[in-house]
Amino acid sequence: MISMTAFWHDSFLAHEPPAGEFEGEWTGRLAFREPHPDRPERVKNVRHIVRTELPQVAWETAPRATDEQLHRVHTPEHVTSFESFCADGGGRMTAETGANEASYRAARYAAGAAAAAVDHALEHGLEDVPYACVRPSGHHAQPEQVDGFCFFNNAAVAAEQALADEAVERVAVLDWDVHHGNGTQEVFYDRDDVLTISLHNDHWSWDPEAHPQTGDTDERGVGQGTGYNLNVPLPPGTGNRGYADAFDRLVEPVVEQYDPDLLVVSAGGDAGTVDPLGRNVVTKEGFETFGARARTMAEEFASSRLALVQEGGYQVSHLGYAMLGTLEGIIGIDSDVADPFAWLDEDADSARRRVDEIVDHYSEWWDLDGT
């Protein structure tokens, strides 16, 4: 059985985006200002269910990210401007992204947790897998701008932390959050030392300024990075079987051929059934297979090094079950906790047809048999 160390900091609970109409601004048309979907209860529930059901997981206090770690990914101006914004009390930064006076500190510790997870992975391998149980998320944050509830790109900080080690030449970042990991894509778009793979809903851009990337297959990298950015946009209704098809035919063959020295996973839970910001129907059982596949890929293709970084998931109850399943799959146990929300069937046929198209597209760069 594999053990696990989770990195946590209480500052994650103090970050509070402005309330409004779900993620949007308050218009005054409704009677109730709804809390923003990125609520502290998300990670409270994750931490509680993991502590209750998985005593194998040890908890450590996350360190604060250093300037060096942040500046490998973000411009100094971006870091200081966000710090100043929060020091002035915060507010709404884009249509859906906001902060309060505590958000800068929380984001800094979240990035530090991701970097610490990588250091732990390089030291312990699969004997003790690290999990950065963080908030706010990071995979939408770009070098010079916030986006999609994200301020600093935790997964990119993690990848850069690994590459700072002389023993690491290549890192693979696998992102199964239901939203395109556009910020991570942007950071490494012209590089071949980081392979980025994003499995996500086919949602395209939600903001041409803050989120200009579409997440479609034609965004495949530029220059030395051409072919090293893989987007796998999946149709609404994709569930356990559709994701299994994408793993079998795209993710695992490409990671094997890339042969990274470390696998970093952006582990969102919002591909889960009933998530209000997703349209896919992955169950706890499906997330268990995600975790098991990540562990196997790390063992077989990534020098037995795996680091897990928390991303999204906005149904505050189901996220706990999704992450419990993910960690069970990595550790290799079954807690016998069932998914109380697994009531929607999936559209496996549409997912299969879409994966067929994506396999054909990426066969120009990777050896994919298309079966």
CA atoms of 312 and 208, how far apart (whole Å): 21
Tokens of 285: 């059982």
**Residues annotated as part of the active site:** 140
Closest CA relative to residue 119, chosen from 162, 183, 65, 76: 162
* Cis omega (within 30 of 0) for bond into 212: no
Q: Is 108 helix (H, G, I), strand (E, B) or coil?
A: helix
- Rama region for 317: left / alpha / beta (φ>0; ψ in -120 to 50; rest): alpha
Closest CA relative to residue 205, chosen from 229, 233, 226: 233
Tokens of 199: 């499995």
Q: How far is CA 359 from the centre of its chain?
A: 23
- Which residue matches tokens 């479609």? 216
Contact 338, 228 (CB under 8 A): no
CA atoms of 209 and 323, how far apart (whole Å): 32
CA atoms of 259 and 171, how far apart (whole Å): 9
Q: How far is CA 186 from the centre of its chain?
A: 15
Provide the pairing of β-strand 98-99 with 91-92: antiparallel
